[in-house]
Amino acid sequence: MSSEGPKLPFIDFSNQELKPGFPLWNSLKIQVREALEEYGCFAASYDRIPIQLRKSIFDAVTELFDLPLQVKVKNSNGKPYHGYIGQSPLFPLYEGMGIDEANVLEHAEIFSKDMWPEGNSEFSKTIQNYAEKLSELDQMVRKMVLESLGVEQYIDEHLESTHYLLRVIKYKGPQTNETELGLPSHRDANLVTILHQNQVQGLELQKKDGQWIDFKPSANSFVVMIGESFHAWTNGRLHPPNHRVMMTGNEARYSVGLFSFPKDGYMVKAPKELVDETHPLLFKPFNCPEYIAYIYKGGKKVDTSLKTYCGA
């Protein structure tokens, strides 16, 4: 892993007075924008997810990955990167599963019945409660960004045109003190990713200036990260960071990520207010699911795939 270096900006979203129009909101939205412009991500404290729920989510994820492989592969999905991925010789430490619309109890229950034919109501409720609360942080961040850019008139449209994927991931410990690749460097294609992990280090993120940052997790820390779709929607004002997972030692790393995506059929397009002589249009309108399919078929090249796909 890289040596001690820069740290992610830290932003505290725990204050109960954090509401639109309040002084604290106006102060934090500037911090959010500045962090996302320079780093593309920040560490967040968010106490609206209670300590017990944070513990329960990792208990649930551990229980899930302990299931037999023939059960886990039932998590199939026609959308790329949404279902079970694992057993790859290229990334032998990685195993992941996806729950579409996990913030809706009915969808969490459908997933649970695929894994446990008799059902698992405790798992379903934990997943749904966690995803719903984390989606509130996602929406808060996106509202702050749009307000800080002066395009708050698009907030309702922006929020209503998205859906959520909860992705749970396990990285096996490589059983060595040598650093091994858990997941290669990449950018997310969605709008916003919020990651929460157990206290096993491994996530590394790249600043806009190229420096890599080792993220040191805590029980109370979430990583909020910009994806390429939000980068395009803001006409390049926000930075979608490269990130990777590098593993060492014996302990497994569990990660839970909430991904907000533009709905199929919604065209990602920068508002006219964000296009001018100083900021010429960078990307043509595009459909995010079609872009993800392009990546999945081999169009992914870090730093250039979006420009190649729909550069203006």
- For residue range 75-128, what is the model confidence (pLDDT) as tens digits? 999 888 899 999 888 899 999 999 999 999 999 999 999 999 998 999 999 999
Give the Cα-Cα-Cα angle 190, 194, 195 (nearest 5 degrees).
120
- Reported as half-sphere exposure (CB side, CA atoms, 13 A), residue 86 has a value of 22
Q: Which residues of 108-118 are buried (b: 16+ CB within 10 A; e: fewer)?
A: bbebbeebbee
Looking at the domain assignment, is residue 1 inside a domain?
no
Give the Cα-Cα-Cα angle 94, 98, 101 (nearest 5 degrees).
160
**pLDDT beyond 50 at 56:** yes
- What CATH number has the domain bearing residue 144? 2.60.120.330
Looking at the domain assignment, is residue 2 inside a domain?
no
Rounded average pLDDT over 197-220: 89
Looking at the domain assignment, is residue 51 inside a domain?
yes
- pLDDT tens sequence across 219-230: 788 999 999 999
**pLDDT beyond 70 at 2:** no
Looking at residue 88, its pLDDT comes to: 86
Looking at the domain assignment, is residue 165 inside a domain?
yes
CB 159 within 8 A of CB 241: no
Note down the domain range covering 195: 10-310
Looking at the domain assignment, is residue 5 inside a domain?
no
Element (H, E) at 128: helix 121-148
- What is the number of structural domains in the chain? 1
Cα separation, 112 vs 127, in Å, equals 10
pLDDT band at 209 (very low <50, low <70, confident <90, very high): confident
Number of residues in the chain: 312
Looking at the domain assignment, is residue 180 inside a domain?
yes
- pLDDT tens sequence across 283-305: 999 999 999 999 988 755 667 89
How high does pLDDT run on average in the chain? 93
Looking at the domain assignment, is residue 3 inside a domain?
no
